[in-house]
Structures are given as C-alpha cells and as structure tokens.
Chains A and B, each alone.
Chain A
C-alpha cells in the first residue's frame, strides 16, 4: 500500500449528493457492470443500474416475520433501507451456472470447463452483514481443498462500495452476530449517507484510486458528527437478538428436542429462507443437453436442504419429514457450520424471518430450545445395548 493511499485511508472525505452519479459513471467507464438496489415488484432488489436515479431514493422497508412492505420516507435518502430478498450471492454464486461441458467427438466425449472471462461487477450498496456473508462464502468456495473457479473469478474482480446502515429493520440482529451495522473491512469504499451527501472511508488501493477521480473534499467535523449520528440510529433501532452463548453445543445436544416437531407444524418446507439467505450454498449439478445430444452442459443450480429429494439415496429419502429438514437447516446454519468453517453460518440479516410465509423466527426457535433444554442421550452418553427395546 502506498503512503498516499495510506494517508487517504486514515481520513474520511465527503462527496456531495450529485457526486453519486459520477461514481457510477466512472465505474461503468472502467468496465464494471454496476449492480445496485432498485425498486421492483414492491421490493428493493439488486440489479444492473446505470443511473443514480434508478436507486430507491426516498424509500424504506418495513419488515416483520413473514412481512415486507416498502414505504415512502420523509426524506430523499438514497440508501434509507436495509436488505431485501436478494443478496449479492446471486452474482458471485449465480443461481444457474455452467461448471463443465462435454462434447461428443469421433474419439468419444471431450470434457472441458468454461473459459469465458467472468463479469466484472461493482456492487453499490453492500451492507456490513452482506460483507460478512461474502467472507463466509469466500471460506466455502475458495478456502477449502477445492476452489470453485466460477465464484473465485467473480469475487476477485468485484468492486465493493459498502454502505453503512442508518436504519434497522425489526428483523435485523447483526449486533448479536457481530457482523454490523458498521462496515469494518472488506470494502473498497464505504459510504455513510448524511443529508447533504456521503462521508466516505477508503478500504483499499482500488477504492482510493477511484476516490481520486471524484469531486470529494475532506470531511468536516460537522459532517463526521452527522455520519456518527446516522450510524448510531441503526444501532439504536436494532431490537432483535440471538443469544449465541454455547449455541453449537446447545443445538447439537438437543437433536431430539420437542421444539423441532413444533416448528415442523408451521414450516412449509418452501425453501424461501435458503433462497434469500446470503450464506446458504447448497446446489445441484444437472445435465443439460442441446437438441442433438452432442453438446452437454453441466449446470449448477441453487438447491435447498428443504427440498424433499435433496437427501435422496438409492432406496429412499434420508430426511423424509419437515421436522428433520428444518432441524438440518438450523443446526447446520448455527451449529455444524462452526465445525465445518470455524464461524457461524448466520450474519443476522433477518431475511429468513421476513421472507418465511409463516413467519418462523429462528431467534425464537433457538430461545425456545435454550429455555427448556432437554439434552437427550443423542450426543452426550454412549450406550452399548442396541437401539430397540426389549426383545
């Protein structure tokens, strides 16, 4: 890191409101596909944008278990909302991607992997919880023995413009998961929106280089103070909590807890939670042939542990009821993930709570188990006698 960049990193700058368009234009000019929030079908989703006018200026979201509505704000803030049904995983880990191909030749099948250059994305409006989710998916897709080139290429070239939250939804619990609301690292630039514009922090050389081309001025004490107030607002508005003390053992020691049967009565196994979750990574590779049958693509598509045949094995389905599938999802997300990836799988974004059609709240499910723990012999003790009862 150059000395110049380092000095920029230590000081915050201010960009006036109308400078946002310049930011977007420079990124487009640099060859990035800019993805940002937009209103679509009554929600704020992530899509390609070219113009700052496409952003959800003046909109906010009201979220509760099983409920999401957009409402007009009293002001004209560009980023006065939190997170919607989309997460950035749909760009880094696309819902459908070709991972390999096979072509029939005279000598038999020829196998290959796609070589096209990956799209270069600039993500505008990334929240702290979403940065945390990206770091979690980095560990999965690039941090193990096998690296997924599809994810890696998109991730490597992605430019991240983070936004510090200035509001929180009723379903947010990032503070409990230690993932927000403030962006600490993992961004190229981080914006905090105040009335007149944006206070900007630099997070990388690339960010500093872009900043140098924008009409920024050193942030004044007053602007810094407003930024602090705005960020504090988000902190103050967080209502929901998840007690994560010993949560891994709590869940894995209660695999036969009656709460699993209880939630199974409410869960539709619809897979919404896994679709909106920014860390869920389950997928299935399927064969897609062209009409001749001579060119085959291996396409990886999002799947979900809630799908009934996700655990199908010759002979039958291992997780044949909603109870076992819900238990799989929650114990994986909050417990087994620690064993597998040395962190929680949950970033506290609250999407699963908002988008569950029956309003299941995983913080409440965990609390129910914690309040009445009935650790059975499932993990604790080992007995030698066979499982069945008297002969």
Chain B
C-alpha cells in the first residue's frame, strides 16, 4: 500500500516533535520521508536491534515490549497517531531499547536518522525546533513512565500498618 506525498505531509504536520516547524521546513523533512505499512502483529524492530530510522505513527497502534530473562516480556507502552518511535536512532547509536510490534493495522512515516541529523546540522533553526520538541515529548513520556513506576493502582500495604480493626 502506498501513500501519497500529501499523506506524508499531513502526518508530519500532526507529529508533535515537528509541530514548531514552518511549512517550508516541513517540506524539507517530507523530502527525506518514506511510508511504511504494518499488518497487525508485525514486528517493526526487536529490542537490542540496530535501527537507523525514526518513525512517526500515521494511523494504528504500536506496542513497545521489554523482556527479561526467565520472566518473559511486558508490554510497557503503546504509541498512537502523531507520536514518535525510535528516538534513540536520532539521539544515540540507534540500538533499540524496546521491541516494537504493530497491534493493529498501522501506517508509519519513516525518517532516516542520519538524513534528519544532517538537516539539523545544516539548518540550526530546524535543528533547534526539532530537538526542543523531542525534549518535550521525552519529558512527557518520562512523567508517564514515572507514574507507571509509582504503581498507583497497586494494593501494597505500608510496612508498619497500624492495627485499626474498625477502619476499612
């Protein structure tokens, strides 16, 4: 299934990490973008795999799993339309920290990390806008991760629970 250039631009326009770019700069990003489709259950990349592409979800849902030896895999996050996948390709060496699997039929915009980095190096205005928004996206995801860590629905009792027979 192919997507028109217009679809690519439409998706990029909804991508949070690109939303400070001007229409002209967005064109430059669109020029390096390609599209990708995944069937439900298809794996985009494995944990530990080298992946040199940044992805923005256009439609559908991508699940991120992390695995532990002997304890199996846990689904830790799902990423939806407009959201970013694979930021380690842009920010570090591209070794993926999660396995990404399409949960339903999903279309993605793919951006080669080295080309995006080149774009940022050549035009610092674009670079600043992109990095600023990547930072915002990451801080939101960090907050969300911390909230998950708090395990706020957990039913743990405090260490020194007082004996209160009539409290419930």
- The answer to whether A309 touches B143, judged by C-beta atoms less than 8 angstroms apart, is no
Q: In the assembled complex, which residues on chain A have CB atoms less than 8 Å from the CB atom of B161? A: 316
A391-B162 contact, Cβ under 8 Å, with A309-B167, A315-B157: no
- The answer to whether B143 touches A308, judged by C-beta atoms less than 8 angstroms apart, is no
Q: In the assembled complex, which residues on chain A have CB atoms less than 8 Å from the CB atom of B167? A: 309, 312-314
Q: In the assembled complex, which residues on chain B have CB atoms less than 8 Å from the CB atom of A313? A: 167
- The answer to whether B158 touches A316, judged by C-beta atoms less than 8 angstroms apart, is yes
For B140, give the chain A residue with the smallest CB separation.
A391
Q: Does B149 contact A (CB under 8 A)?
A: no
Q: Does A284 contact B (CB under 8 A)?
A: yes
Assembled-state Cα–Cα distance A117/B161 (Å): 41
In-complex Cβ contact of B143 among A285, A314, A317, A386 (8 A): A386
Q: Does B142 contact A (CB under 8 A)?
A: yes
Q: Does B139 contact A (CB under 8 A)?
A: yes
A391-B143 contact, Cβ under 8 Å, with A312-B167, A314-B168: yes
- The answer to whether A308 touches B162, judged by C-beta atoms less than 8 angstroms apart, is yes
Q: Does A286 contact B (CB under 8 A)?
A: yes
Q: Does B166 contact A (CB under 8 A)?
A: yes
Q: Does A287 contact B (CB under 8 A)?
A: yes
Q: Does B164 contact A (CB under 8 A)?
A: yes
Number of interface residues of A (CB under 8 A): 14
A284-B166 contact, Cβ under 8 Å, with A391-B139, A391-B142: yes
Classify the interface of chain A: helix, strand, loop or mixed: strand
> Size class of B's contact patch?
10 to 19
Within 8 A of B (CB), among A309-355: 309, 312-317
Within 8 A of A (CB), among B152-168: 155-158, 161-162, 164-168
* Max chain A C-beta neighbours (<10 A), residue from B143, B157, B162: B162
* Max chain A C-beta neighbours (<10 A), residue from B161, B165, B168: B161
* Contacts across chains A and B counted by CB atoms under 8 Å: 27
Q: In the assembled complex, which residues on chain B have CB atoms less than 8 Å from the CB atom of A285? A: 166
Q: In the assembled complex, which residues on chain B have CB atoms less than 8 Å from the CB atom of A317? A: 158, 162
- The answer to whether B162 touches A312, judged by C-beta atoms less than 8 angstroms apart, is yes
**Contact bitstring B71-86, A, C-beta under 8 A = 1, else 0:** 0000000000000000
Q: In the assembled complex, which residues on chain A have CB atoms less than 8 Å from the CB atom of B165? A: 286
A309-B164 contact, Cβ under 8 Å, with A386-B143, A391-B139, A391-B142: yes
- The answer to whether A286 touches B166, judged by C-beta atoms less than 8 angstroms apart, is yes
Assembled-state Cα–Cα distance A98/B166 (Å): 16
Q: In the assembled complex, which residues on chain B have CB atoms less than 8 Å from the CB atom of A309? A: 162, 164, 167
Assembled-state Cα–Cα distance A45/B95 (Å): 79
Q: In the assembled complex, which residues on chain A have CB atoms less than 8 Å from the CB atom of B139? A: 391
Q: In the assembled complex, which residues on chain B have CB atoms less than 8 Å from the CB atom of A315? A: 155-158
Q: In the assembled complex, which residues on chain B have CB atoms less than 8 Å from the CB atom of A287? A: 166
Assembled-state Cα–Cα distance A90/B17 (Å): 67
* Max chain A C-beta neighbours (<10 A), residue from B139, B142, B167: B167
- The answer to whether B142 touches A312, judged by C-beta atoms less than 8 angstroms apart, is no
**Contact bitstring A276-287, B, C-beta under 8 A = 1, else 0:** 000000001111
Q: In the assembled complex, which residues on chain A have CB atoms less than 8 Å from the CB atom of B142? A: 391
Assembled-state Cα–Cα distance A317/B139 (Å): 31
Assembled-state Cα–Cα distance A316/B131 (Å): 42
**Contact bitstring B96-120, A, C-beta under 8 A = 1, else 0:** 0000000000000000000000000
For B139, give the chain A residue with the smallest CB separation.
A391
For B159, give the chain A residue with the smallest CB separation.
A316
A-B contact pairs, 24 of them (CB 8 A): A284-B166, A285-B166, A286-B165, A286-B166, A287-B166, A308-B162, A309-B162, A309-B164, A309-B167, A312-B162, A312-B164, A312-B167, A313-B167, A314-B167, A314-B168, A315-B155, A315-B156, A315-B157, A315-B158, A316-B158, A317-B158, A386-B143, A391-B139, A391-B142
Interface residues of B (CB under 8 A from A): 139, 142-143, 155-158, 161-162, 164-168
Given A284-B166, A309-B164, A391-B142, 18 new contacts (CB under 8 A): A286-B165, A286-B166, A287-B166, A309-B162, A309-B167, A312-B164, A312-B167, A313-B167, A314-B167, A314-B168, A315-B155, A315-B156, A315-B158, A316-B158, A316-B161, A317-B162, A386-B143, A391-B139
The 8 A-B pairs of least Cβ separation, nearest first, read A309-B162, A391-B139, A316-B158, A309-B164, A286-B166, A312-B167, A391-B142, A312-B164
